[in-house]
Amino acid sequence: MLTRLLHATWGILATLAGVAAAHLVAALTVPAASPVLVVGSTVIDLTPTPLKTFAIEQFGNADKPILIGSVMVGVLVLAGIAGIIAARRLTAGLLMLLALTVLVGVLAMLRPAAGPLDLLPAVTAAIVGVASLWWLHRLESSGSEDGATGPTRRGVLIAAGVLAVAAAAFGTAGRFISSYRLKATDIDLPTAAKSVKPLPAGLEDKIKGISSFVTPTKDFYRVDTRLTLPIVDADSWTLTIDGDVDEEVTLTLADLYELEVIERDITLTCVSNDVGGPYVGAARWLGVRLTDVLDLAGIDNTKADQIVSTDVEGMTIGTPFSVATDGRDAMIVFGMNGEALPREHGFPVRMVVPGLYGFVSACKWITKITLTTYDEQEVYWTERDWATDAPIKISSRIDTPKALSSTDAGKTFIGGVAWAQGVGIEGVEVSIDGGAWKPAEMGPDAGDDYWRQWFVEWDAKPGQHFLSCRATNKDGDLQSDVRMKTFPEGSSGIQNISVTVA
């Protein structure tokens, strides 16, 4: 038993050294081609939609660390088995390890937009992993053949220690290099042709716990399929407009800056945001009009009904052509809240279309815009049965008090935010313990594409209470009370929270 454990450890150590060396090589070349991330991304892409929705809703932004952890555990179990097999038949154990790295290599190359460099980490893992396992077993078996246990045993242990230290060093170096390369790059942003007024002060100073009127960039929700952030170089980045256009064009960042630069306040929402959920944020976006960009390629004669955005890694997002070109402020964005777009949110350039959920509009790290039809091309989410045309539903959220929290009895506030991008929020009503709907006081209005804060005063009496809110847009449409799940076109229903007053 003990020897088995030891042999499993050899397999695990050899694999760790291989994976860490590969991670280092990936950090220097293509970070996303690191073996654990390749397996993780494949799992994400193959995960059935209901499970993915469940993971996003249950684990929130912890879904990725949980996934990486599980992949790592899976890999190490297989590595342990390879170690045990190698003790019986060295070739068989080595072949098993090799087969694992070949699988990683194949998965790496199957990723959209993969280039030859993507193979390098898997090759590194194969060489380092297989050589390490061979080394450990050779040292060990040379010991047992001689019958000399002492010094050779020590030799194996020293070798094991060397591998452990090497793995830790490779891993740390990889992390260090990645984080260095991920540092925000300085770019000189242009200013908007017509400067927009600073936003009025929000209610956050008055109503403790309410979402701030502008979401600070560092707190802005992040939803994407990626395990590592793409490192895109702003100087060599280009945006190509192709497909059913008069003439294909390719633009640099400097070319974009030549167009009329606009700045808009827009609230972004994820289709995976359940009633009362966190995947919504409001920011001031700097960029150019999508239609100005499309006009450079010429779209007067186009028969396209879908705009497909492709990111630097080949991920695709499809936007209804008629919606994006109906006069709303659909944007190609390079600035967020007065700074360059952070890597998390699409550096150097992304799309933002007010009124459409992010998964059908807000492609980050965009590099190509293709005018096509829904018949001709399916994109990432529609391949997974999500809706193609998904307008954001009227919605409102209670930020304070928090669901299931306890509050002191006495005068307090119930407050939150509401959004109805494109039409704008007229008002919000609140119901306490199922009582009559009572209008809330509204915060400032920064335009129809932006959310509004709201609050009511509440004289909270001891006991358990139920609080609900609902919004009305400027067309007089009331937020739907029909309960719908996030899949396939966004949640609806009335948030109803329970709080305890003591």
Ligand X SMILES: Nc1nc2c(c(=O)[nH]1)N[C@H]1C(S)=C(S)[C@@H](COP(=O)(O)O)O[C@H]1N2
Does 290 sit near ligand X (CB under 6 A)? no
Cα dist from 346 to 352, 395, 415, whole Å: 11, 26, 31
Q: Return d(Cα 357, Cα 183) in angstroms, integer.
A: 29
- Among 135, 213, 220, 359, interactor with Mo ion by CB under 5 A: 359
Does 220 sit near ligand X (CB under 6 A)? yes
Collapsing DSSP states into helix, strand and coil, what is residue 308?
Answer: strand
- For the stretch 88-105, what's the b/e string if a residue is b when 16 or more beta carbons lie within 10 angstroms of its beta carbon? eeeeebbbbbbebbeebb
Pairing of strands 331-336, 350-352: antiparallel
- Among 13, 259, 315, 331, interactor with ligand X by CB under 6 A: 315
Q: How far apart are CB 111 and ligand X at their closest, in Å?
A: 13
Does 490 sit near Mo ion (CB under 5 A)? no
Q: What is the DSSP letter of 314?
A: S
Strand partners, 241: 249, 369
Q: How far apart are CB 287 and ligand X at their closest, in Å?
A: 14
Does 8 sit near ligand X (CB under 6 A)? no
Does 311 sit near ligand X (CB under 6 A)? yes
Q: How many residues bind ligand X (CB under 6 A)?
A: 18
Cβ atoms of 245 and 299 closer than 8 Å:
yes
Does 390 sit near Mo ion (CB under 5 A)? no
| Residue 185 near which of ligand X, Mo ion, none (CB within 5-8 Å, type-dependent) | none
Residue with tokens 């020897």: 3
Q: Return d(Cα 306, Cα 320) in angstroms, integer.
A: 5
Q: How far apart are CB 363 and ligand X at their closest, in Å?
A: 5
Does 270 sit near ligand X (CB under 6 A)? yes
Q: How far apart are CB 337 and ligand X at their closest, in Å?
A: 12
Q: How far apart are CB 264 and Mo ion at their closest, in Å?
A: 20
Q: How far apart are CB 167 and Mo ion at their closest, in Å?
A: 36
Site residues for ligand X, window 362-401 (CB under 6 A)? Answer: 362-365
- In this chain, which residue has its C-beta nearest to ligand X? 358
Nearer to Mo ion (CB atom), residue 240 or residue 388 = 388
Q: Return d(Cα 317, Cα 356) in angstroms, integer.
A: 12
In terms of Cα–Cα distance, which of 102, 114, 101, 127 is closest to 30?
A: 114
Cα dist from 273 to 90, 221, 359, 401, whole Å: 51, 11, 12, 19
Site residues for ligand X, window 221-240 (CB under 6 A)? Answer: 221-225
Does 293 sit near Mo ion (CB under 5 A)? no
Does 47 sit near ligand X (CB under 6 A)? no
In terms of Cα–Cα distance, which of 446, 215, 484, 252 is closest to 349?
A: 252
Cα dist from 214 to 8, 79, 308, 451, whole Å: 53, 48, 29, 9
Stretch that binds ligand X, among 107-115, 219-227, 258-266, 454-462 (CB under 6 A): 219-227
Q: Which residues bind ligand X (CB under 6 A)?
A: 220-225, 268, 270, 311, 315, 317, 345, 358-359, 362-365
